[in-house]
Chain A
Amino acid sequence: EPEVTQTPSHQVTQMGQEVILRCVPISNHLYFYWYRQILGQKVEFLVSFYNNEISEKSEIFDDQFSVERPDGSNFTLKIRSTKLEDSAMYFCASGGGWNTEAFFGQGTRLTVV
């Protein structure tokens, strides 16, 4: 069964450093997303990506964040200068489009120290 894969599973970084979280969405999907879940809180939308551009972003997704689909398979989230409050589980998701479910990856746990 096709699945969304994320790497790494756990990333520890120092405050102020840049991190790149990687995702391989399901191959025939057209819509790509990043969500995050801070420990004990709900899953929050960060950004959606369609047709090689951002289609929507939340207020969390400020100038420190960027997304890229550098080739036909990978989808990355970059945080330029990490803060302690960026520590969370980051989930990549992909969807086929209208009235279809979004499939989530297993997540990357980001710990900023």
Chain B
Amino acid sequence: DQQVKQNSPSLSVQEGRISILNCDYTNSMFDYFLWYKKYPAEGPTFLISISSIKDKNEDGRFTVFLNKSAKHLSLHIVPSQPGDSAVYFCAASGEGGTASKLTFGTGTRLQVTL
């Protein structure tokens, strides 16, 4: 039961270019969406979130876009840096944000090359 899907297991981008990571979801009850970054042997680190009442949220180099009708969100990183190389997880929760459990996607491994 994959309610949150990240169809690209990996992505390679040159330093300075834009990285676009995609995520699709099936559960229309999801109300709050988050992106986490994860290094090996560490816990997920929160990056950015968006509520379903918005279609865009920006924080420095990171922008998340939400298309509710398509049940799709994306994370844009610009410019990409070598330190951005990690696994990125999309996560979704019901009404109340982290008062509800998070359902994670399978992750996309981003590699930023020099």
Contacts and interface: CB of A to CB of B under 8 A. Distances in A.
A101 B106 contact: no
Contact of A31 (B49, B99, B105, B106): B99
Interface stretch (A11-19, A63-71, A80-88, A90-98): A90-98
A19 B68 CA distance: 42
Dominant secondary structure of chain A at its interface with chain B = strand
Contacts of B51: 99
Interface residues of A, number: 31
Dominant secondary structure of chain B at its interface with chain A = mixed
Given A42-B104, A45-B103, A99 B97 contact: yes
A75 interface: no
A99 B44 contact: no
Interface string B46-66: 100101000000000000000
Contacts of B114: none
Interface of A: 4, 6, 31, 33, 35, 41-45, 48, 50, 56, 58, 89, 91, 93, 95-107, 109
13 contacts: A31-B98, A42-B104, A43-B44, A45-B103, A98-B99, A99-B32, A101-B98, A102-B46, A102-B102, A104-B44, A104-B45, A104-B46, A105-B43
